[in-house]
Amino acid sequence: MNNKTKRFTYLALLSAMAITLNLIETATIPPMFGVFRIGLANIIALITIQVLGVKEMIIVNVMRVMIGNLMSGRIFGSSFWISFGGVLLSSIVLCIMHKLKASLMFTSVMSSIAHSIGQVCVVAFFYMTGYIAVILPYFLLLSIPTGLFTGFIAKIASERVNPLKK
């Protein structure tokens, strides 16, 4: 298999995994305090940036939001834009952290925080109220353990995925 085909196959597999994880989490794990999710699909974004790079991570994240929402019948609805806002900001932070060569665990926590902030910004824009920001301290606090958890899983998985690249 040439290198381009291999990368494309990896990209397709990782996108499928991200979408599946996203759908499984939505269907099986109830959100904490009614609004906060662990963000299992972030594990795949972290693996992608490690294994393939920034451009591919953005593709996986966009595919995850687009196809995930399409499959759950919420495409271009309010929940789509809320997830899109979260993914957009978390992708930007992932790129910055990758450039700064931060550790995977730290990158994961920062991306989790950025995801929450992105979602809160979209909700504030939709409802034209800044009062939603009161939820941010709770999100910040919850993002740390969930980010560490997804970062830990991504670290273990990356160690197993990297040898397959060769």
Partner 1 sequence: MKKKEIKILVVIAVIAVVGIIAMQFFPKKSTDPNLTPTEKPKGEWVAIIHKNEVAQWFDSGVDGEYTVKGDYGEMVVEVKDGRWHVGSVECPNHTCEQMGWDDGSSFMPITCIPNNIMIGTSEWVENYLSNE
Could you tell me if 119 and 82 are in contact, meaning their C-beta atoms sit under 8 angstroms apart? Answer: yes
Check binding of 32 to partner 1 (CB under 8 A): no
Binding mask 106-145 for partner 1 (x = CB under 8 A): x--x---x-----------------x--x-xxx-xx--x-
Q: Which is nearer to partner 1, 54 or 136 (CB)?
A: 136
d(CA 142, CA 88): 20
User: Of 79-108, which residues contact partner 1 (CB under 8 A)?
Assistant: 102-103, 105-106
Minimum separation from the CB atom of position 12 to partner 1 (A): 32
d(CA 34, CA 25): 14
Q: Which residues contact 85 (CB under 8 A, 6 or more apart)?
A: 118, 119, 121, 122
d(CA 83, CA 90): 10
Q: Which is nearer to partner 1, 64 or 115 (CB)?
A: 115
Binding residues for partner 1, per CB under 8 A? 102-103, 105-106, 109, 113, 131, 134, 136-138, 140-141, 144
